[in-house]
Amino acid sequence: MIADIVVDLQYGDCGKGKVAHALCRDNDYTHVIRYNGGCNAGHTIYHEGEKFITHHIPCGVFFGIKSIIGPGCVVHVDTFLEEIEKLEEAGIPAKELVKVATNAHIITDFHRAEDGKDEEIGTTKRGNGPAYRDKYGRRGVRALDDPRLSNYLTNIYLELYENEEFDNIEILFEGAQGFGLDVDWGDYPYVTSSHCTAGSALLNGVPPSAIRNIWGVAKIYETYVGAKDFEGPYDEFDEIRELGQEFGSTTGRPRQVNWMDFDLLKMASRINGVNKIVINKMDILDVIGKWHAYHGPHILEFKSRDDMEFWIEAKLHSEVNENIQLFFSGDKEYI
Ligand code: IMP
Ligand code: MG
């Protein structure tokens, strides 16, 4: 069994959906497993030119790959079933391919209503925080106990380890949210309620020794959605927001924009142990024509895209790992 991980190095919305989709196209995965979060996530995927937004369902479905919502996730059953129907309508055989781990937890309507009252954190109001609280408080409801999911359940242990094809299993772990929103490493309390690091994938039933590649995903500028002040005082940010379509794919809220914080990228790269990094949305700054990044107390102003790419690559190689492979991307569907 081998596994790759896709993990976001900033605040979510960096293009994990795109990277996971591209990796599914180019590899022979037998399983795609979502490893954290719930329907707070919104993954925008362009499949054969058509736009899809998924909240729960991993992108393996677009390629006929078994797609599992792992035990690290929380599931809102109605949202999940609606998503299945939408994909089926678009000709994607989701009913056959999608499974929910028996030990994933359920987001109840009560959790939703409670999260709906949040004013401090700026949550997506999808019930995530209360569902994880009840999971850890040992009073949660698991997927196993919800009859509406009976056709979709899978026991991850049996699925992976009691499988005649064990030696040929190749898993893509698809993360949700991002490093800056991680419950331990993010800017607490302005975080989500799950672990958004590569380590979190391992909590879904796979040992560290199975891991092959860890794909970190970032953007050439940053965005954040939530209650804290994040946006810097630059005139370009309104234009970046419009050009980059930086509006929440789950809630429609405008995302706050800022320049890349290189120190965050470096920390996230170290803690996640990435060996590949995709930096997305290069096309947006190509239009804006400004190439800035925060580093320590400074704002760096690069002369050109090439200068910024060169600097980031050299810094990550000298300060994180000289073997990291970087991809700078400005395409919606391809890396
Ligand atoms: P929650 O995950 O709904 O509890 O929200 C906690 C924080 O994480 C808020 O700032 C949300 O805007 C943010 N958040 C949650 N999911 C996503 C996501 O998929 N993309 C970006 N931000 C997210
Ligand atoms: Mg998103």
Whether 266 contacts 10, CB under 8 Å = no
Ligand 1 pocket check for 194: Cβ under 6 Å? no
Q: For position 42, what pLDDT does the model report?
A: 87
Q: For position 200, what pLDDT does the model report?
A: 98
SS3 228: coil
Q: For position 43, what pLDDT does the model report?
A: 87
Residues of the chain with pLDDT under 70: none
SS3 294: strand
Q: For position 142, what pLDDT does the model report?
A: 98
- Catalytic site residues? 13, 43
Q: For position 250, what pLDDT does the model report?
A: 85
**Per-residue pLDDT tens for 86-126?**
999 999 999 999 999 999 999 999 999 999 999 999 999 99
Considering the chain, what percentage of its residues have pLDDT values greater than 70?
100
Q: How far is the CA of 40 from the centre of ligand 1 (A)?
A: 6
Ligand 1 pocket check for 280: Cβ under 6 Å? no
Q: How far is the CA of 263 from the centre of ligand 1 (A)?
A: 21
Q: For position 44, what pLDDT does the model report?
A: 87
Burial 108-140 (b: 16+ CB within 10 A, else e): beebbebbeeeeebebbbbbbbbbbebbeeeeb
